[in-house]
Amino acid sequence: MSVLVYHPFDPVTRPSCQIECWRQLAALPPEWELVNQLCVSSFDYSAGLAEVWDGDHDLIIVEHDNSPTPVMLAEMVACREPVCTRPYQIGPASSHQLVTFPSVRNGPSLPRVGEMIPTATHSSIGCTKYSPAWRAMVGRPERQLWYHVENSLNRLVAGNPGAWHVHWPMCGHGH
């Protein structure tokens, strides 16, 4: 099975947060295809995603400020679940909040570091995997502004299979 890593980036937004991401992407297995999507307009993220959506490859999204290692990505590719996510910390280190919601929530708070939840009903899409069979079943996401892509993909996951499979440990995040 082939692997395509989709890397949407904006060289102007937080360039110092992107250094580790570029370093990890440079170490990907040579047989994996890397698509660096320059995002200048508000529609470039979704337009580029539409171009790589179809096909018989596992699709991995690695956003510009995330830095999963090639081993972390290979674990997601080897997983039999149709959609996978790897959480990452947001905000200052003292907040310990992750951008992945557990499938059963107890109140309005985000999960905290150390709550190694196995599934999630919502996830940020900065480090995610989508199987070819799942993508063919749900169809291509619509063209939309970059800040709507995450909600669109979460709606597709909510419809089938209903939850993201969560991989641990979390990956690095630049801010």
Q: Is 40 exposed, middle or buried (0-12, 13-18, 19+ CB in 10 A)?
A: exposed
Q: Is the pLDDT of residue 65 over 50?
A: yes
Give the pLDDT mean for 132-160: 93
Q: Hey, which of 53-62, 122-131, 148-157 has the most confident mean pLDDT?
A: 53-62
- Assess contact for 54 and 134: CB atoms under 8 A: no
In a domain, 11, yes or no: yes
Give the pLDDT mean for 57-77: 97
Tokens of 56: 């018989």
Q: What pLDDT does 108 receive?
A: 41
d(CA 145, CA 85): 22
Q: Higher-confidence residue: 51 or 123?
A: 51
Q: Is 153 exposed, middle or buried (0-12, 13-18, 19+ CB in 10 A)?
A: buried
CATH of the domain at 57: 3.90.550.60
Give the pLDDT mean for 28-44: 97
Cis peptide preceding 30, ω within 30 of 0: no
Q: What pLDDT does 111 receive?
A: 56
pLDDT tens digits, 83-134: 999 988 776 554 555 556 554 444 444 555 556 778 888 888 999 999 999 9
d(CA 59, CA 131): 6
Q: Which domain holds residue 32?
A: 2-104+117-173
Number of structural domains, the chain?
A: 1
The mean-pLDDT minimum among 30-44, 74-88, 110-124 falls in 110-124
In a domain, 9, yes or no: yes
The mean-pLDDT minimum among 37-51, 65-79, 112-126, 150-164 falls in 112-126
Enumerate the β-bridge partners of residue 127.
62
Q: What pLDDT does 107 receive?
A: 41
Q: What pLDDT does 174 receive?
A: 82
Q: What pLDDT does 106 receive?
A: 43
Give the pLDDT mean for 8-32: 92
Q: What pLDDT does 104 receive?
A: 43
Q: What pLDDT does 105 receive?
A: 43
